[in-house]
Amino acid sequence: MKTIQSALISVYYKDGLEPIVKLLNSKGVTIYSTGGTQSFIEDMGIEVVPVEKLTGYPSIFGGRVKTLHPAVFGGILYRRDNANDVSQATEFNIPSLDMVIVDLYPFEETVASGAGEQDIIEKIDIGGISLIRAGAKNFKDTLIVSSRNQYAKTLEILTEKGGATDLADRRVFASEAFAITSHYDTAIHNWFVNGNQQSVRDFENLPQKPLRYGENPHQSAIFYGDLDAMFDQLNGKELSYNNLVDVDACVGLIDEFDSKSITYAIIKHTNACGVASASSAKEAYLNALSCDPVSAFGGVVITNGNVDLAVAEELNKLFMEILIAPSYDTDALSLLKSKKNRILLVRKPIVLPKEMFKTVLNGVLIQDKDDSTESASQMQTVSTKVPSSEQLSALEFALKICKHTKSNTIVLAKEGQLLASGTGQTSRVDALKQAIEKANTFGFDLKGSVMASDAFFPFPDCVEIAHLVGIEAIVQPGGSIKDQLSIDYCNQNELAMVFTGVRHFKH
């Protein structure tokens, strides 16, 4: 057990600090501090020794150099059980610092705010991170408190142990300190490499949230990340592993659609079972639901528009796990909360990572997200028949959905509405047949509709099948050595076909 006799306190975030300072003062601890923290403590009527008295230097270079001095770091790092260290500390009048409370400049928050480069650079902490590493390295003698998230635990330990800590306490705090510095340095590295884009590579340093279980009840699971930064949860139970996977699929799909019209998407097992855009929320939702009302049961619904009472009355008829929207009218929210387990989320604006990864074999695959979405201007007409503007709009719509559907996939649509899709099939022909069967099941006439494929057609069989059910325009990436066979069939049967040159496999 080691009683704290001196402490260095220099923090950016001061909320929650006051009770610790008062406790240290009541135990007669000598407190050293700097700048704003010094003023904060003095305003409490507590005596503080300015760090300048130790170093003989004022804060210089606009605050860039304050604590970087042997008198400070020596007081943290010298080994109390090493006679030579003790002798040198005495020789150079270096006081021991038994406790260091210091946090880091809000680098990630500054990046997320969209601040300019110079503001971001000034939030790269030098002294703070050095103090944290020093305190953590010498945990045998020094307690390092490196985050405001540790204040409550620190107060609890000091209260329980009369202003003292044991080695086990200090080792735990040291471990947490190195996790904080590792995450901080990784965030800085990622900014230099990726600019303002988040990276998933340092996920182990993100906040951890244990989940009830994983994909199945016998699997354990943890979510790494800050859900509160992305959503406000207004109702319902905690999000599960499968919920989070579906929510991720929802967000990726809805972000394909701009706010010029209201779009609703219904997701089941990460695939869209309904998508529609319209001028009103109610119309968009009902059109999306009509695509496959059977699969919609127990699904996840997302929209890019406000949820008003008119659409809420329709949504309330459906058993759904989750509803995600940017906002809700008060009366709509009151109605939707009538189901206590229904999860209602408000999505916040946030920059999402541009990388994705998955574990495979004994390693990890990392790739860029598929951020390519081809518009009509990027579609090359390869058939004699040129698609109309309405068909091009429908092809754009279908391709957005196709990109977010498990391969092999075929998507059938008309302008502003998904009609059916074939998902995750081992052959493209099977995907098309599945889509046609679903469209027929739910009463859609495919005459005049369009078709999107995530990859090229190696044979003209899909084009022929599509033609026979009334599909009139097709979008695909092209790239098969037998592309001409599909083009020839289109020309012989007055079908319009466009190539994008971009494949959208999704596994």
Structure confidence by residue, pLDDT tens digits, 317-365: 999 999 999 999 999 999 999 999 999 999 998 888 888 888 899 998 9
The residue ranking higher by pLDDT, 448 or 111, is: 448
How do residues 190-216 score in pLDDT, each as one tens digit?
888 877 555 556 666 677 889 999 999
Measured N-to-C along each axis, helices 70-77 and 127-137 cross at an angle, to the nearest 10 degrees, of: 30
- The pLDDT value recorded for residue 398 is 97
Distance CA 359, CA 281 (A): 39
Distance CA 293, CA 320 (A): 11
- The pLDDT value recorded for residue 109 is 86
Are the C-beta atoms of residues 496 and 389 closer than 8 Å to each other?
no
Pairing verdict, β 99-102 and 6-10: parallel
- The pLDDT value recorded for residue 226 is 86
- Cα distance from N-terminal residue to C-terminal residue, the chain: 55
CA dihedral 323, 251, 412, 271 (to 10 degrees): -80
How do residues 420-459 score in pLDDT, each as one tens digit?
999 999 999 999 999 999 999 999 999 999 999 999 999 9
Q: Is 137 a catalytic residue?
A: yes
How do residues 247-264 score in pLDDT, each as one tens digit?
999 999 999 999 888 999
| Catalytic residue from among 14, 123, 209, 269 | 269
In this predicted structure, the answer to whether residue 41 has a pLDDT above a threshold of 90 is: yes
Tokens representing 123? 């939030």
Residue 231 parent element (H or E): strand 231-235
Q: Is 504 a catalytic residue?
A: no
Which residue's entry shows tokens 């009463």?
Answer: 443
In this predicted structure, the answer to whether residue 295 has a pLDDT above a threshold of 70 is: yes
Q: Bridge-partner residues for 459, per DSSP?
A: none
Read off the pLDDT of each residue in 94-106 and give the average, rounded to a whole number: 93
Distance CA 140, CA 142 (A): 6
In this predicted structure, the answer to whether residue 3 has a pLDDT above a threshold of 80 is: yes
Are the C-beta atoms of residues 281 and 315 closer than 8 Å to each other?
no
Pairing verdict, β 262-268 and 271-278: antiparallel
How do residues 126-178 score in pLDDT, each as one tens digit?
989 999 999 999 999 999 999 999 999 999 999 999 999 999 999 999 999 99
| Catalytic residue from among 137, 161, 337, 354 | 137
- The pLDDT value recorded for residue 187 is 85
pTM, full prediction: 0.71
Tokens representing 376? 């009509």
Distance CA 385, CA 380 (A): 12
- The pLDDT value recorded for residue 253 is 97
